[in-house]
Chains A and B, each alone.
Chain A
Amino acid sequence: MADVNRGNRPLSPHLTIYRPQWTSMTSIFTRITGNALFVTALLIVWWFVAAATGPDAFATADGFITSWFGDLIMFFSVAGIWYHTLAGIRHLIWDSGRMLDVDKSETFGQAMVLIAVLLTIFTVIVL
Chain B
Amino acid sequence: MAYLTDRKRAAGLGSAKSGTQHHWHMVISSVALVGLIPCFIFTFGSIYGAPYEDVLAYYQRPLPAIVALLTFAVGFVHFRGGVQTLIEDYVHGTAKKVAIIAMICLSYTAAAAGVFAVAGLAL
A residues with CB within 8 A of B: 1-2, 31, 34-35, 37-38, 41-42, 44-45, 47-49, 51-52, 55, 58-59, 62, 65-66, 74, 78, 81, 85, 88-89, 91-92, 95, 123, 126-127
Contacts and interface: CB of A to CB of B under 8 A. Distances in A.
Nearest to A38: B79
B27 A127 contact: no
Interface residues of B, number: 37
Nearest to B59: A51
25 contacts: A2-B9, A34-B79, A35-B86, A38-B83, A41-B75, A41-B76, A44-B44, A45-B114, A48-B118, A49-B117, A51-B52, A51-B56, A51-B59, A51-B117, A58-B52, A62-B49, A78-B45, A85-B37, A88-B34, A91-B30, A92-B27, A92-B31, A123-B42, A123-B45, A127-B45
A45 B72 CA distance: 8
Contact of A127 (B34, B42, B114, B117): B42
A59 B52 contact: yes
Contacts of B83: 35, 38
Contact of A51 (B42, B55, B82): B55
Nearest to B58: A51
Given A45-B117, A48-B121, A81 B52 contact: no
Q: Which of A41, A42, A47, A95 has the most CB of B within 10 A?
A: A41
List the 3 shortest-distance A-B pairs measured between CB atoms, nearest first: A52-B120, A127-B45, A48-B117
Given A45-B114, A52-B121, A2 B33 contact: no
Given A51-B121, A95-B27, A41 B55 contact: no
B67 interface: no
B110 to A, nearest CB: 5
Q: Which of A31, A49, A92 has the most CB of B within 10 A?
A: A49
A78 B37 CA distance: 10
Interface in B71-123: 72, 75-76, 79, 82-83, 86, 110, 113-114, 116-118, 120-121
B37 A81 contact: yes
A30 B44 CA distance: 23
